[in-house]
Amino acid sequence: MKVLVPVKRVVDYNVKIRVKADQTGVETANVKMSMNPFDEIAVEQAIRLKEAGTASEVIAVSIGPAQSQETIRTALAMGADRGILVEADADVEPLAVAKLLKAIVEKEGPELVILGKQAIDDDSNQTGQMLSALMGWPQATFASEVAMKDGAMDVTREVDGGLETINVKLPAAVTVDLRLNEPRYVSLPNIMKAKKKPIDTMAPADLGVDTAKRLEVLKVVEPEKRQGGAKVASVAELVEKLKNEAKVI
pLDDT for the residue 133: 97
> Which amino acid is located at 20 in the chain?
K
Q: What is the average pLDDT across 119-126? A: 91
80-106 tens-digit pLDDT: 999 999 999 778 999 999 999 999 999
The CATH number linked to 214 is: 3.40.50.620
pLDDT above 70: percentage of residues in the chain? 100
Residue 8 lies in domain: 2-244
Residue 206: inside a domain:
yes
| Secondary structure class of 247 (helix, strand, coil) | coil
Confidence bin at 249 (pLDDT 50/70/90) = confident
Confidence bin at 145 (pLDDT 50/70/90) = very high
pLDDT for the residue 217: 86
Residue 163: inside a domain:
yes
Please answer whether residues 159 and 127 qualify as being in contact, where contact means their C-beta atoms are separated by less than 8 angstroms. Answer: no
Residue 55: inside a domain:
yes
Q: What is the average pLDDT across 98-117? A: 96
pLDDT for the residue 245: 85
Q: Is the peptide bond prior to 171 cis by the omega test (within 30 degrees of 0)?
A: yes
pLDDT for the residue 77: 95
Domains held by the chain: number: 1
171-207 tens-digit pLDDT: 999 999 999 999 999 989 999 999 999 999 999 999 9
Residue 249: inside a domain:
no
Rounded to the nearest integer, the mean pLDDT of the chain is: 92
Residue 33: inside a domain:
yes
Q: Say what the pTM is.
A: 0.86
> In the β-sheet with 172-176, what is the strand arrangement from edge to edge?
162-169, 152-159, 139-149, 172-176, 112-116, 2-6, 57-64, 82-87, 199-202
The C-alpha angle 75, 120, 194, rounded to 5 degrees, equals 10
Confidence bin at 226 (pLDDT 50/70/90) = confident
CA atoms within 13 A of residue 225's CA, in its CB half-sphere:
2
